[in-house]
Structure 1
């Protein structure tokens, strides 16, 4: 693996659109797909991002690429993608850390397959601090493994749900929906929601809470 960030990265333009309202301070978040090859995980991560913020650096280890496939830029809805394939989990972590130092990037997404000793508390703490210091969101997708000790500020379990009905054609695929469980967080109360894009604003929306009363749902989203 020989990738390295450009020697000089231009600063993002002040004229770019604001981030979606659902976002808070950029930091490291983890996603654990309920089914290892579920495409809901990368879709959920992208839904938190604004295409106008800059290119997304997407890094996959060898098994993630083989088992879940390569991202398909024409189907990503306007996101400019920089794709990097590496061999090992530690290479994903290194490339993510380097990418988070480049202000021209809008986000960094990493995919790691299976249990990986390299993805420990120290490594994730470095990514979280670097993401927060440079204001670039970092998403780490952990496929085929259970959650272990991590410094990620938010940790999600995500699964695909049946899509919304398409109002103009009942046979056509509608907008995607996800079951999104926030099971660990430093910023708000944990919870579980049906999530998707708001048809009016296009931003990420948490349509309704699952197994939470109204007061719990309000605290979780505060």
Structure 2
């Protein structure tokens, strides 16, 4: 099926663009539209195409129970250090400790539900820690509303039907996601169909949804 916009919607810019990147490593948040959707960790990992060190992945108990543990063979060669803790406050503490280690390639935390511990002060500490040590941090907020936060970027993610596999129509193809950047400190927000560029393997935004071409170009610049 070919996607076509409604008559009132501007035609999308179909030129693939590389993923917009933060000016420096900092804290980004992801809110899956469906709590157990695998789009969130996949999208975070897609930003780490060239791992400069091990990825510290921290899950609270409910996240691990509802979504499962990360699968190292599917992480594109990144070395994984997995830690499971009981509470959201433990996730935040472990993330802060990990962000103080420049040898890590990234720190990813998963928290289930609306947790009082994940407030503006806690997220600001993580953002400043990530920026001070040059380690990117991703906080996946499952089954939680986007409350007040100091995260530099905040995304809503959901899975879309995968691209067709050219060599086998029955096999799963390259994944695609609906990625909405609804809060950002450094550029315009927007919504895209995102996925891996088949030619380069980089994360790319295939086309913007509900934005004119010029606006989409500014948002991904």
TM-score of the alignment, normalized to the shorter chain, above 0.5: yes
Structure 1 runs not aligned, ≥5 long: 1-19
For 2:51, what is the secondary structure of its paired residue?
helix
Give the equivalent residue in structure 1 for 2:113: 114
Cα distance in structure 2, aligned partners of 1:92 and 1:36: 18
CA contact (8 A) 2:20 2:220 kept: no
Give the equivalent residue in structure 1 for 2:148: 149
Cα distance in structure 1, aligned partners of 2:77 and 2:103: 17
Q: CA deviation at 1:51?
A: 4.2
Give the equivalent residue in structure 2 for 1:184: 183
Cα distance in structure 2, aligned partners of 1:58 and 1:208: 30
**Alpha-carbon displacement from aligned partner over 1:150-195 (angstroms, at most 9, x marks no partner):** 0000000000000001111111110010000000000100000000
Cα distance in structure 1, aligned partners of 2:184 and 2:19: 18
Give the equivalent residue in structure 2 for 1:41: 40
Taking structure 1 as reference, are residues 149 and 21 closer, same or farther at Cα in structure 2, changes over 3 Å only?
closer
CA contact (8 A) 2:180 2:192 kept: yes
Whether 1:61 aligns to 2:78 is no
RMSD: 1.1
Hey, which bits of structure 1, 4+ residues long, moved more than 2 A?
Answer: 20-24
Cα distance in structure 2, aligned partners of 1:190 and 1:21: 13
For 2:89, what is the secondary structure of its paired residue?
helix
Structure 2 runs not aligned, ≥5 long: 1-17
Q: 1:139-218 maps to which residues of 2 (within 5 A)? A: 139-218=138-217
Q: CA deviation at 1:39?
A: 0.4
Kindly indicate whether structure 1 or structure 2 has the higher relative contact order, using CA contacts under 8 Å at least 6 residues apart. Answer: 2
Cα distance in structure 1, aligned partners of 2:20 and 2:100: 24
Cα distance in structure 1, aligned partners of 2:218 and 2:26: 21
Give the equivalent residue in structure 2 for 1:14: none
**Alpha-carbon displacement from aligned partner over 1:39-86 (angstroms, at most 9, x marks no partner):** 000000000013431110000001001111111111222111000000
TM-score (norm 1): 0.89
CA contact (8 A) 2:47 2:203 kept: yes
Give the equivalent residue in structure 2 for 1:93: 92
